[in-house]
Amino acid sequence: MTARPLRLGVLISGRGNNLQALIDACAAPGFPAEIALVVSNVAGAAGLDRARAAGVPVAVVDHKAFPGREPFEAAVTAQLEATGVGLVCLAGFMRLLTPGFVERWRDRLINIHPSLLPAYKGLDTHARAIADGARFSGCTVHFVRPDMDAGPIVVQAAVPVAQDDTPETLAARILTSELEIYPLAVRLIAEGRVAVEDERVRIRDGSALPAPAVNPPPGA
């Protein structure tokens, strides 16, 4: 018997670039997950149009319509549970989540952040990496914990920082990697290959490590 695809709930607030990557991945034959629902706290979010164009159900839960974060999150959870969501994916969701929500979805809630966590948590990650002279930046998919941009790391991609990079050019290159690793993380989880042990992710049947990257390369 073929296993039922893992049902995803994707939370967005804006353009939905990473949402589109998940939509495209889920449309591929044999991908072990499907998007059950896209929830936005912004009625005009462009990502909603991406979901509708793909035939994915959407819901708008406007945080401004609620007296606080907990009632808003309760409404979001009700939408997710009503559609049988097993994994919640934050994809540009611009609301801080309460510990109660995070614990309710513990180890079933992932986020993508544009840095190599634990470095550069928070905002302005690209500008900070450039200002520090970092030779690499990148992006991270991780399980969410109550602390901001914290939690067991599932997948990371390292992106070299060019000497003439601006925050905008670095962001564009890192976004390309984001669009690759978010579906990869979802696939690993949906295949049952991810386990959280002592707040570290273990990947079952993991492949060999890639070769080390050097920036600037030897002989440059």
DSSP 53-72: HTT--EEE--GGGSSSHHHH
Phi, psi of 72 (to 5 degrees): -60, -50
Provide the CATH topology of domain 1-105: Rossmann fold (3.40.50)
pTM of structure: 0.96
96-100: average pLDDT: 97
Catalytic, 142? Answer no
b/e 56-82 (16+ beta carbons within 10 angstroms → b): bebbebebeebeeeeebbebbbebbee
Catalytic residue among 63, 113, 126, 142: 113
pLDDT for residue 17 is more than 50: yes
Name the phi and psi angles at 88, rounded to 5.
-100, 130
Tokens in use for 83?
């559609």
Q: How do the domains of the chain map onto residue ranges?
A: 1-105, 111-204
Confidence grade of residue 114 (pLDDT, cut at 50, 70, 90): very high
Phi-psi group of 149: left, alpha or beta (phi > 0 → left; psi -120 to 50 → alpha; rest → beta)? left
Q: What is the rounded average pLDDT of the residues 27-39?
A: 98
Is there a common fold for 1-105 and 111-204? yes
pLDDT band at 2 (very low <50, low <70, confident <90, very high): low
Residue from 202, 193, 204, 183 nearest 33 by CA: 183
Asked if 136 and 157 touch (Cβ cutoff 8 Å), the reply is: no
Which tokens hold the place of 64? 């401004």
Pick one of 3.40.50.720, 3.40.50.11540, 2.40.50.140, 3.40.50.170 as the CATH number of 111-204: 3.40.50.170
The pLDDT value given to residue 208:
79
Residues in the chain: 220
Q: Residue 63: is its pLDDT beyond 70?
A: yes
Average pLDDT of the segment spanning 184-211:
93
Question: Is pLDDT at 1 greater than 70 in this prediction?
Answer: no
Cα dihedral angle (81, 66, 48, 33), rounded to 10 degrees?
-20
